[in-house]
Amino acid sequence: MRSDPEQASRPIRVLLVEDDEDDYLLTREALRPLGPRRRMVLEWARTCEQALEEMASGRHDVCLLDHRLGALTGLELLEQARRRGWRGPVILLTSLGDDALDHQAMEAGAADFLEKSQLTPTLLDRSIRYALQHARTLEELRRSHESFRELTERLPDGIAVLDETHLLYANLALLSLLGCSSPDEIVGKRVTELEEYFIHPEDQPQLLQGLREATKARRAMPPGEVRLLRKTGGLVSVELAQTPVVFDGRPGLVRIVRDLTERKQMQSRLMFSDRMASLGTLAAGIAHEINNPLAYTIATLGHVETEVLPRSGTQQDELRKLIADAQMGAGRVRDIVRQLKLFSRADEDARPGPVEVRGVLETAIRMASNEIRHRARLVCDFSEGLVVEANESRIGQVFLNLLVNAAQAIPEGQVERNEIRVISRPHAEEVVVEVRDTGSGIPAEHLERLFEPFFTTKPIGVGTGLGLPICHGIVSGFGGRMEVESEVGRGSTFRVILRAATREAPSPAASLQVPGSRTSSEAPAAPRRGRILVVDDEPMLGVSIRRTLQREHDVVTLTSAREACARLLGGERFDVILCDIMMPEMSGMELHQELERRSPELAGRMVFLTGGAFTPNARAFLERVVNHRVEKPFSAQELRELVQSLVARERG
């Protein structure tokens, strides 16, 4: 059909399908007075084939169709024409009036039904005009319905239209939410039956009562959360709202069903991140609190071994053994604290830098040892000197997760029959780390989903489905990638591929982190006696450091940074200032800033004692300054060597 402007400027083209010439002439005579006045042009198709061809051409605005056309009826011809694309109005012409035929014509989509014997110019003009207007109305309605359907089918939310008893319409999103493959599975069904089938039984009483009350009062029901049982199995949490509408001229209801899966996953991720941040802060705080007593315990044991034991008499062997056992236990605690600190720095700036792969792998292996040793033999095949662009704590988290996953894929009690192999090797300009296990393997259909959040193949209570996605995000953030190969019953291989670093990384297990031009091992050949100031709010640590250094140096210990600041700015001279970072009233950072402002030379002599820089300010401060720093707990020998080298530099 032409648009309204075209219809107003062009003649109305009328196609008459009529196999009887007399009837054609009769119709033509009825239209003749309308030609010049109403701008109508009549064309005649005598056979069904010609009629179908003309109707398919789309040149005509309206069709006058005889009901009797030889082998076909007008309604049969109309059906064929519709299949070939005819969308215009049709007026059925008959020789005799027939109420049944009139009804059939209307059912078939004819716009009007006229008896040939009663045709007059006025009747025919009115019928054609009505048919064209009816066709335009139907076309507008069709377009409106198509627009409505396109709109609702594109919506991500489920849409259901229903009257008070039956479901009238459901869009694709709703079918997907309910696990249905076709609208026929639910459309036309009673609403009560669908509610009982798809709504979780525990959610039905309260929800259904609210829906019934809203329906009866013809008011909207605000969104509420409900669980739906999918036809294909499983649960889906949705937000359901209902509002009254008029649909097809009748009162109806629209229900909007929004999938909450992504929202809940995001909430879980945020909660998980918050828990991890809280745990990281807690771990850092615990490490800091443990490090002080651990530091003076280790220092005291070292002092006993080197200073007291040689003068203790006849029971030296037994005392040496006891001290060695105590030192071993304290050393194990020190290693645990260092590992705890390594994995508590998730909030630090994760900009990639050079990380020595072997050291991080060995740390991760120690942390996963309890999971591994009851399940499999561990085989390590490390290439030496591999350094990658990463962040030590983040990539350590990745390796630890892969090791724990590998262990959990193997049942306990079959150590000799199973193996976990950890491999590191160079490849072109990259470094490859592989964790292989001989565990249960992963089905092929699950491989593509392993890195999806909340997807897990582990039993309930064992896995959250967040470990591998987080690992994938960490590795991708460093410009690397992860790969997986697996076969059910034969185990899995997880592969981490990272960019090789271009410069050497510090050892992650180093006790003393000494930036600058000189390291702790560069002790001068000839010892020089210096004057040392120790500032730490833990009195016992000051005592232990004084015992450790007092044979070679004069040591003053203070527990207040304010007092230290006053004595230093008052002119008291010290060659080395050993100062804790985190202290009440005045921190080591604030002391350094004051000295840097008023006496830069003294600020340069500071060595920071840190049990863990677990605040953003402390981390930023240590990244900015070039001073030496000593990680608590430290060994007596390491501290002596560092202090002696610094004294020699000051007095050299």
How far apart are the C-alpha atoms of 35 and 40, rounded to whole Å?
5
- 512-651 maps to CATH 3.40.50.150: no
pLDDT for residue 74 is more than 90: no
DSSP-assigned beta bridge partners for residue 433: 424, 496
How far apart are the C-alpha atoms of 427 and 564, rounded to whole Å?
54
pLDDT for residue 81 is more than 60: yes
How far apart are the C-alpha atoms of 45 and 30, rounded to whole Å?
17
pLDDT for residue 186 is more than 90: yes
Q: 246-260, 396-410, 486-500, 508-522: which has the minimum mean pLDDT?
A: 508-522
Q: How confident is the model at residue 522 (pLDDT cuts 50, 70, 90)?
A: very low
pLDDT for residue 342 is more than 70: no
447: its two tokens: 């491989």
Instruction: Tell me phi and psi for residue 58, to 5 degrees.
Output: 75, 15
The arithmetic mean of pLDDT across residues 350-378, rounded, is 86
Q: How confident is the model at residue 514 (pLDDT cuts 50, 70, 90)?
A: very low
- 4-149 maps to CATH 3.40.50.300: no
The arithmetic mean of pLDDT across residues 250-275, rounded, is 76
Q: 45-59, 86-100, 414-428, 507-521: which has the minimum mean pLDDT?
A: 507-521
pLDDT for residue 314 is more than 80: no
Q: State pLDDT tens for residues 621-638.
A: 888 899 998 887 777 888
Q: 93-97, 426-430, 536-540: which has the minimum mean pLDDT?
A: 93-97
CATH code assigned to 155-259: 3.30.450.20
Read off the DSSP letter of residue 518.
-
Q: Which residue has the higher pLDDT, 348 or 423?
A: 423
Write the DSSP string, 578-617: EEESS-SSS-HHHHHHHHHHH-HHHHHTEEEEES---SHH
Buried b (16+ CB within 10 A) or exposed e, 51-68: bbebbeeeebbbbbbbbe
Q: How confident is the model at residue 200 (pLDDT cuts 50, 70, 90)?
A: very high
Q: State pLDDT tens for residues 565-598.
A: 999 999 999 999 999 988 888 999 999 999 999 9
Q: State pLDDT tens for residues 13-32.
A: 888 888 888 888 888 887 77
Q: Environment class of residue 440 by beta-carbon count within 10 Å: exposed (0-12), middle (13-18) or buried (19+)?
A: middle
Residue 139 · residue 111 · CB < 8 Å: no
Give the pLDDT of residue 612: 63
Mean predicted lDDT score pLDDT of the chain: 79
Q: How confident is the model at residue 617 (pLDDT cuts 50, 70, 90)?
A: confident
Highest mean pLDDT among 270-279, 427-436, 607-616: 427-436
Cα-trace Rg, the chain: 43
The arithmetic mean of pLDDT across residues 43-64, rounded, is 87
Q: How confident is the model at residue 308 (pLDDT cuts 50, 70, 90)?
A: low
CATH of 348-499, one of 3.40.50.1000, 3.40.50.970, 3.30.565.10, 3.30.9.10: 3.30.565.10
The arithmetic mean of pLDDT across residues 325-345, rounded, is 61
Residues 6+ apart with CB under 8 A from 268: 454, 466
Q: State pLDDT tens for residues 547-573.
A: 889 889 999 999 999 999 999 999 999
Q: How confident is the model at residue 349 (pLDDT cuts 50, 70, 90)?
A: very low
Residue 189 · residue 166 · CB < 8 Å: yes
Residues 6+ apart with CB under 8 A from 200: 226, 227, 228, 229, 235
The arithmetic mean of pLDDT across residues 114-126, rounded, is 78
pLDDT for residue 346 is more than 50: no
**CA angle, residues 616, 622, 626, in degrees to nearest 5:** 160
How far apart are the C-alpha atoms of 6 and 364, rounded to whole Å?
79
Give the pLDDT of residue 318: 63
Q: Which residue has the higher pLDDT, 609 or 617?
A: 609
Q: 337-341, 380-384, 425-429: which has the minimum mean pLDDT?
A: 337-341
Give the pLDDT of residue 428: 86
pLDDT for residue 34 is more than 80: no
Give the pLDDT of residue 523: 42
pLDDT for residue 466 is more than 70: no
- The helix/strand/coil state of 162 is strand
Determine what percent of the chain is predicted with pLDDT higher than 90: 25
Q: How confident is the model at residue 504 (pLDDT cuts 50, 70, 90)?
A: low
- Residue 319: CA atoms inside 13 Å, Cβ hemisphere, count? 15
pLDDT for residue 490 is more than 80: yes
CATH 3.30.565.10 in the chain, residue ranges = 348-499
CATH 3.40.50.2300 in the chain, residue ranges = 4-149, 512-651
Q: Which residue has the higher pLDDT, 147 or 239?
A: 239
- Per-residue H/E/C for 288-348: HHHHHHHHHHHHHHHHHHHHHHHHCCCCHHHHHHHHHHHHHHHHHHHHHHHHHHHCCCCCC
pLDDT for residue 372 is more than 50: yes
